[in-house]
Amino acid sequence: MRIRPLTLVLFLVLVLVTGYAVWWHRMATRLLTLLDHSADLARTGGATITYQPPTLGGFPLSIAITATDVKVEKPDGLSWSADTVRASAPIWRLDDVVLTLPKGGHASLPHEGVRPALDATAAIVGGRVALDLGAGTPRTVQVNLSHATLTAAALPAPEGDAAGAPPPASLVPAGSYPIEGLSITVERPATPPADHTGTGLGLRLDITNMTVPPVRSLGTKLQRLVLSARVQGPLPAAPTAEAVAPWSKAGGTVELDSLKLDWGDLHLAANATLALDTSLQPQGSGTAELSGLDNLVDALQDGGSLHGNQAQWAHLGVALLAKPKADGGAPTLKLPITMQNHKLQIGPLTVGHYPDIAWR
């Protein structure tokens, strides 16, 4: 019996489509296994991760995995949840996974010490994960938020305080702080560093138009904050004193390669090297270039950090030492930055205090 050419073509197409469908399903299962492996690593670190059984889609040119009722809880009380999480990748690049949260996400962190209870929501959430297909672990994770809001609760009054006593000092004043955009990227090298001269983790943070507590001369709108940093040396296995102490003793540091801040008329560009002292508390030094420093002096005076004639002398120093830019921009001043004994200083000005790190 003679086989018609059309029948042969249709048979070959059927074989190819069936073979491709089997291969696609095998690749989808592999991607699902890789994502499950990443979740298992987080569980090994003490996190609790739950979600409904995921569904597969995207055939034929991509692979999409959709999970619902996703919840993550960590031992320190941090929790995160999303109604729907979708991970997708083109069939030819399974190591490049795009994350989409069409209904946004929610995170919360309980009160501890001078840190109030924090609650964050975002209407639009997306991201990207670069996977190491061999090890099944993320190399780079990027998360983008839009139309987010950070809410800080008031600190509870310590037990035994008299009625009407002033509230305790808070690391973040109680209130609601909208954020137009936030992007954070964390990157691990393909090969972990052998010593403190290599980078164990890279971090980049970019915040756009965030409402902040009102400060005279600076206003309530932080236009831009961009931070780029590297953790040098093999990463500690856990945020505990027993794990962090050897890293610090071996020369581990955090290199703040760039910090740029635009807040009202204050503009800052800085870099610094941070380390831990013998008590495993932050210390460091660097340099900063500032314009609009008079606004910062006014803010420090309002906050009580400058007293008497100190603000007048600071204004005089700025007027004498600030140099105009060649392009006609606002005069700038270069000053050293120091972090030590819970104080952050820019030149002679103490611009803030920071609490102890309570290692677990």
Dist. CA 223–CA 182, nearest whole Å:
12
How far, CA to CA in Å, does 315 sit from each of 262, 292, 295, 321, 345?
A: 20, 11, 10, 10, 16
Dist. CA 23–CA 45, nearest whole Å:
34
Give the pLDDT of residue 17. Answer: 61
Give the pLDDT of residue 159. Answer: 65
Give the pLDDT of residue 58. Answer: 84
The two three-digit tokens of residue 341, written as one number: 């004994």
SS3 (DSSP) at 115: strand
Question: What's phi and psi for 79, nearest 5 deg?
Answer: -130, 150
Residue 347 has, within 13 A of its CA and on its CB side, a CA count of: 15
Dist. CA 225–CA 107, nearest whole Å:
21
Q: How many CB atoms lie within 10 A of CB 304?
A: 7
Residues of the chain with pLDDT under 50: 1
The two three-digit tokens of residue 318, written as one number: 């700025």
Dist. CA 66–CA 327, nearest whole Å:
52
Contact at 8 Å (CB) between 235 and 252?
A: no
Contact at 8 Å (CB) between 35 and 65?
A: yes
Radius of gyration of the chain from its Cα atoms, rounded to whole angstroms: 26
Dist. CA 46–CA 237, nearest whole Å:
12
Dist. CA 276–CA 279, nearest whole Å:
7
The two three-digit tokens of residue 197, written as one number: 């001269």
Q: How many CB atoms lie within 10 A of CB 249?
A: 10
Residue 15, amino acid: V
> DSSP string spanning 75-106?
TTS-EEEEEEEEEEEETT-TTEEEEEETT-EE
Q: What is the pLDDT of residues 183-232, one digit of tens each?
A: 999 999 988 898 989 999 999 999 999 998 887 778 889 999 999 999 99
Residue among 87, 47, 48, 82 at smallest CA distance from 68? 82
> DSSP string spanning 128-182?
EEEEETTTTEEEEEEEEEEEEEEEEPPPPPPTTPPTTPPPPP-SS-SEEEEEEEE
Residue among 84, 165, 164 at smallest CA distance from 126? 84
Give the pLDDT of residue 166. Answer: 59
Full-model pTM: 0.83
Question: What's phi and psi for 108, nearest 5 deg?
Answer: -145, 150
